[in-house]
Amino acid sequence: MGSSTHDRDLPALGCQVRQPAGGTIATAHGNGEQKRSSAQGDVTLPEWRENSPAGVFQDRPWRALWQARELIGYFALRDLKLRYRQTVLGVLWVVVQPVASVAIFTLVFSRLAGVSSEGIPYPLFALVGMVTWTYFSSVVISASAVLVTNGNLITKVYFPRMAAPTASLLPPAVDLAVSLVLVAVVALYYHIFPGGPLLAFPLWLVLLAMTAIGVALWFSALNVKYRDVQYAVAPMLQLWLFASPVAYSASGLSGWGRLAYAVNPLYGVIEVGRWALLGTPWPGWPLAISVSASGLILVSGLNYFRRAQRTFADVV
Amino acid sequence: MSKVYALGDRQSAREAVVSAARRMVRLERARHNEVWSLRDVTFSVKDGEAVGIVGRNGAGKSTALKILAGITSPTSGVARTRGRVAALLEVGTGFHSELTGRENVYLNGAILGMSRREIARSFDSIVEFSGVERFLDTPVKRYSSGMQLRLAFAVAAHLEPDVLVVDEILAVGDAEFQRKSLGRMEEAGREGRTVIFVSHDLDSLSAICPRSLWLEAGRIRGEGPSREIIRDYLASGLASAHTGAALIRVGALTVLDVRVTAHERASAVLMQEEELRVEVDFELAEEIPGLDCAVNLTTSTGVRVLDQALSDSGQRRLPKGRYRVQLVVPPILNVGTYAVGVYFGTQLSDLVDEPGVVSFTLHGSDHGRPGRVLISNFPMAVHPLTA
């Protein structure tokens, strides 16, 4: 024990290491508990944390993530601050990107190919798709690299590893907010108001974030071990973009075709977004498939991440 | 606990798929190309205790710290810690050169596990400690490396963990920085924090940690009071000053060996508080009348702190044969490196005058006052002066 003259408000603690089977277990903490309980009454002791082959044990991983919320905030703030440093247009870039894509889509899909847009003016229709897609893809791109770019942190400091990909959700959210203002302006211009479904707007945000983090967890953890991922992300996203109803409407598909198409989790996200923001028809049953796919990716991503994170510091 | 690392290059996805497929069809067993960084290491550290870990490079010290800190997980076994563990394996982890000093303080603090409130509370103190007030809103890429280091350390110094795990951070920075950081470590120990300290700087280690572990090749080789562990550790792998062959030959005189011993053991590294002996073996092919011999010690800065001579002045006769000169040095020398010099000569001529035949290093505590000669166990007292 530390000398009794330093009777500061120190929780009982210590650390110990033991062998797998039949090894000695030190009970170094006994005194501390006694001192504490006699001096402080019913102050809760810090919990033992176990680091075993199964990883760093935490009672409730969600609580660890919650405790790391400030760190997540600082990670996000760092990326935000760094992003537009030394640029002339700064935050304007947030608007320029979707507007440019929508302009191209309008020209190609609407003018040249004559794609239907469910009764909504095509630029607005594509803009909602593009805004959704931009958020999703920027989260996935930044999350897939986040553990590798923060490799020095991973090998030198302990923090809940999930904090890093979780933090990648936030900076694109700022872009999303700015873009949504643009959507509102364009919708006003076309006199489009969804009415009641607008109340489901937060629900859409949750679905979007859930889908993005699920994919982000997979990619971030995979990229630590297999750097191939960083090269695969861009072409994969490109394919994914055209496999999602961003620039066109999925209403042309029906029956089994539509159900198969709905396996893409982005289908549900974009359809719900258009429903909530523009008042397009409720997507119906295929949505269940899409949301399930999204949930499956999230759950499996969480599982994979938690298993993979044990070796992050060794392989990154 | 144990920790195994697979050697070799990282696998690409393609290789992983190929080797998994091979394992499935039993063409190849799992790779045996692995190294045990830690093997069945078991220890415990009490609440408020400061424990040092010594060992050569690759002995597993850093791995042990990383497992304790939760950075990596053991291959088998369990590490249990209680309370908030802060690992200082590097100064300035997570500093970003584009961010300002102020932003980095908050970011780095959060990375090290401080809450925003804690950082805000210690912010002024951190800034004062670092001495970079004027540049707080300048990106740290414009800082000198010394300034970055000071700021980073200032943040680390204000951590208030329950368990502090420190690896070799004192190896960086100038003497002033090292003194400051060492001071903080000692303070942390006094405040009752549990400290686990890895360092090659054995003097600091024994100053901070009363107890030490000695890791060798992933296993615990010794455990006990730091002084003893360090002495054993130092003595373990060090060659003596003995070279085997004759050192110097001048006429009828041959200097066979010069060595420094403590507890009958020759070593180039010794503890400061031990009595040590300087021994010089020589051989006379014929009697040299009036032979004087002397042994001297010179510090690394060139100060000859000891020069002891056996003067013959014609009285003593040393017939042909082998002899050993033995000089007993009580523990009066400060820590540092010393060169042993030998002198042989007569009043007519100097035969041998070699100032640095062998050298040795004294370890021990300088009581936080480097460069000062501190002689312990000598009578010393303070008396009031009556005017």
Strand partners, B87: B165
pLDDT value of residue B275: 86
pLDDT value of residue B14: 56
CB contacts of A314 in chain B (<8 Å) are 5, 72
Structure tokens at B197: 């300290």
Q: What amino acid occupies position A166? A: T
pLDDT value of residue A42: 43
CB contacts of A154 in chain B (<8 Å) are 71
Tell me which residue in B42, B66, B70 faces A49 most closely, judged by beta carbons.
B70
DSSP type of residue A47? P
- Concatenated DSSP letters of A175-226: HHHHHHHHHHHHHHHTT----GGGGGHHHHHHHHHHHHHHHHHHHHHHHHH-
Given a cut of 90, whether residue A133 has pLDDT beyond it is: yes
Q: Which of these, A173, A187, A182, lies nearest to A279 by C-alpha position?
A: A187
Q: Domain B41-236 falls in which CATH fold?
A: Rossmann fold (3.40.50)
| One domain, residues A88 and A33 | no
How do strand B211-216 and strand B50-54 relate by DSSP bridges?
Answer: parallel
| One domain, residues A303 and A276 | yes
Given a cut of 60, whether residue B15 has pLDDT beyond it is: no
Question: Looking at residues A115-122, what average pLDDT do you find?
Answer: 83
What's the number of domains chain A is made of?
Answer: 2
Mean of all residue pLDDT scores within chain A: 81
pLDDT value of residue A292: 96
pLDDT confidence of A238, banded at 50, 70, 90? very high
Given a cut of 50, whether residue B69 has pLDDT beyond it is: yes
Question: B376 or B126: whose pLDDT is higher?
Answer: B126
Helix (H) or strand (E) holding A235: helix A228-242
| One domain, residues A14 and A113 | no
Q: Do residue A16 and residue B73 have CB atoms under 8 angstroms apart?
A: no
What is the chain A residue with the closest CA to B1?
Answer: A19
| One domain, residues A40 and A83 | no
Residues 6+ apart with CB under 8 A from B49: A1, A2, A14, B194, B195, B210, B211
Q: Do residue A70 and residue B115 have CB atoms under 8 angstroms apart?
A: yes
Q: Do residue B162 and residue A6 have CB atoms under 8 angstroms apart?
A: no
Q: Do residue B47 and residue A14 have CB atoms under 8 angstroms apart?
A: yes
pLDDT value of residue B238: 43
Q: Measuring CA to CA, how many Å separate B77 from each of A264, B68, B70, B196, B214?
A: 43, 12, 13, 19, 19
Question: Looking at residues A8-13, what average pLDDT do you find?
Answer: 39
Structure tokens at B327: 């000089």
What is the chain B residue with the closest CA to A229?
Answer: B13
By the 8 A CB rule, do B310 and B325 touch?
yes
Rounded to a whole number of angstroms, the distance from the CA of B97 to the nearest CA of chain A is: 10
CB contacts of B116 in chain A (<8 Å) are 70
pLDDT value of residue A274: 93
Q: Measuring CA to CA, how many Å separate B348 from each of A136, B44, B291, B379?
A: 94, 66, 10, 41
The Cα B180–Cα B371 span in angstroms is 16
What is the chain A residue with the closest CA to B106?
Answer: A74
Least confident of A11-25, A261-275, B100-114: A11-25
| One domain, residues A22 and A74 | no
pLDDT confidence of B82, banded at 50, 70, 90? confident
- The count of CB pairs under 8 A between chains A and B is 224
Given a cut of 60, whether residue B31 has pLDDT beyond it is: no
Residue A122 lies in a domain: yes
Model pLDDT for residues B314-357, shown as the tens digit of each residue: 566 778 888 888 888 888 888 777 888 888 888 777 888 877 77
Q: Measuring CA to CA, how many Å separate B172 from each of A129, B126, B146, B337?
A: 53, 19, 10, 21
Residue B355 touches chain A, beta carbons under 8 Å: no
pLDDT value of residue B320: 87
Residues 6+ apart with CB under 8 A from B51: B43, B45, B195, B196, B197, B209, B211, B212, B213
The three-point CA angle A185-A190-A191 to 5° equals 90
CB contacts of A74 in chain B (<8 Å) are 106-107, 110-111
Q: Do residue A26 and residue B43 have CB atoms under 8 angstroms apart?
A: yes
pLDDT confidence of A193, banded at 50, 70, 90? confident
By the 8 A CB rule, do B35 and B71 touch?
no
Structure tokens at B141: 């890429």
pLDDT value of residue B149: 84
The Cα B240–Cα B233 span in angstroms is 14
Q: Give me the residue spans of the domains in chain B.
A: 41-236, 248-363
Given a cut of 50, whether residue B171 has pLDDT beyond it is: yes
The Cα B10–Cα A315 span in angstroms is 7
Given a cut of 80, whether residue A60 has pLDDT beyond it is: no
What is the chain B residue with the closest CA to A21?
Answer: B77
Residue A44 lies in a domain: yes
CB contacts of A160 in chain B (<8 Å) are none
How do strand B194-198 and strand B276-284 relate by DSSP bridges?
Answer: unpaired
Strand partners, A51: A56, B79
What is the percent of chain A with per-residue pLDDT over 70, rounded to a whole number?
A: 84
Given a cut of 90, whether residue A146 has pLDDT beyond it is: yes
CB contacts of B112 in chain A (<8 Å) are 157
pLDDT value of residue B361: 82
How high is the ipTM of this complex? Answer: 0.75
Mean of all residue pLDDT scores within chain B: 78
Find the distance separating the first CA and the last CA of chain A, reported in whole Å. 38
Q: Do residue A24 and residue B42 have CB atoms under 8 angstroms apart?
A: yes
Question: Looking at residues B236-259, what average pLDDT do you find?
Answer: 67
The Cα B212–Cα B215 span in angstroms is 10
Question: Looking at residues B45-62, what average pLDDT do you find?
Answer: 84
Given a cut of 90, whether residue A166 has pLDDT beyond it is: yes
- Give the range of the structural domain holding residue A6, as residue numbers without chain letter: 1-48
| One domain, residues A297 and A153 | yes
CB contacts of B84 in chain A (<8 Å) are 46
Question: Looking at residues A97-112, what average pLDDT do you find?
Answer: 82
3-class SS of residue A117: coil
Q: Do residue A6 and residue B190 have CB atoms under 8 angstroms apart?
A: yes
Q: Measuring CA to CA, how many Å separate B118 from each of A7, A163, B159?
A: 21, 20, 9
Helix ranges (DSSP H) in A41-191 = 61-67, 69-83, 92-105, 122-149, 151-156, 163-167, 170-189
Residue B117 touches chain A, beta carbons under 8 Å: no
* Interface probe, candidates A158, A162, A310, A312, chain B, greatest B C-beta count within 10 A: A158
The Cα A129–Cα A115 span in angstroms is 14
| One domain, residues A137 and A30 | no
Rounded to a whole number of angstroms, the distance from the CA of A88 to the nearest CA of chain B is: 17
Q: Measuring CA to CA, how many Å separate B40 from each of A21, A116, A173, B155, B216?
A: 10, 68, 48, 35, 12
Question: B170 or A236: whose pLDDT is higher?
Answer: A236
Model pLDDT for residues A251-307, shown as the tens digit of each residue: 877 778 888 899 999 999 999 999 999 988 888 888 999 999 999 999 999 999 988
CB contacts of A85 in chain B (<8 Å) are 98
Least confident of A123-132, B146-155, B362-371: B362-371
Q: Do residue A82 and residue B99 have CB atoms under 8 angstroms apart?
A: yes
* Interface probe, candidates A156, A307, A310, chain B, greatest B C-beta count within 10 A: A156
Least confident of A21-25, A47-51, A177-181, A237-241: A21-25
Residue B101 touches chain A, beta carbons under 8 Å: no
pLDDT value of residue B148: 87
Rounded to a whole number of angstroms, the distance from the CA of B212 to the nearest CA of chain A is: 14
The Cα A216–Cα A196 span in angstroms is 32
pLDDT value of residue B375: 52
A201-225 vs A122-149: helix axis angle to the nearest 10? 40
Q: Do residue B73 and residue A70 have CB atoms under 8 angstroms apart?
A: no
Q: Do residue A70 and residue B110 have CB atoms under 8 angstroms apart?
A: yes
Model pLDDT for residues B198-207, shown as the tens digit of each residue: 887 777 788 8
Helix (H) or strand (E) holding A275: helix A265-278
* Interface probe, candidates A3, A8, A15, A25, chain B, greatest B C-beta count within 10 A: A15
Q: Do residue B83 and residue A50 have CB atoms under 8 angstroms apart?
A: no
Rounded to a whole number of angstroms, the distance from the CA of A150 to the nearest CA of chain B is: 8
Cα dihedral across residues B214, B219, B221, B224: positive or negative: positive
| One domain, residues A125 and A274 | yes
pLDDT value of residue A7: 38
What is the chain A residue with the closest CA to B66?
Answer: A156
Q: Do residue B162 and residue A10 have CB atoms under 8 angstroms apart?
A: yes
Residue with tokens 């770019």: A149
Residue B193 touches chain A, beta carbons under 8 Å: yes
The Cα B320–Cα B282 span in angstroms is 11
Question: Looking at residues A16-43, what average pLDDT do you find?
Answer: 37
Residue B34 touches chain A, beta carbons under 8 Å: no
pLDDT confidence of B60, banded at 50, 70, 90? confident
By the 8 A CB rule, do A1 and A31 touch?
yes
| One domain, residues A220 and A280 | yes
* Cα dihedral: B372, B373, B379, B382 (round 10): -20
Given a cut of 90, whether residue A215 has pLDDT beyond it is: yes
What is the chain B residue with the closest CA to A76?
Answer: B107
Under CATH, which number does the domain B248-363 receive? Answer: 2.70.50.60
Given a cut of 50, whether residue A21 has pLDDT beyond it is: no
| One domain, residues A19 and A74 | no
The Cα B32–Cα B190 span in angstroms is 46
* φ/ψ of residue A109, rounded to 5: -80, -45
pLDDT value of residue B363: 78
CB contacts of B191 in chain A (<8 Å) are 6, 8, 10
pLDDT value of residue A172: 92
pLDDT value of residue B16: 55
Q: Which of these, A266, A128, A264, lies nearest to A194 by C-alpha position?
A: A128
Helix (H) or strand (E) holding A18: strand A14-18
pLDDT value of residue A114: 73
The Cα B84–Cα B69 span in angstroms is 10
The Cα A134–Cα A147 span in angstroms is 21
- Work out the burial of residue B10: count CB atoms within 10 Å of its CB; fewer than 13 is exposed, 13-18 middle, 19 or more buried: middle
pLDDT value of residue B377: 57
| One domain, residues A84 and A114 | yes
Rounded to a whole number of angstroms, the distance from the CA of A312 to the nearest CA of chain B is: 7
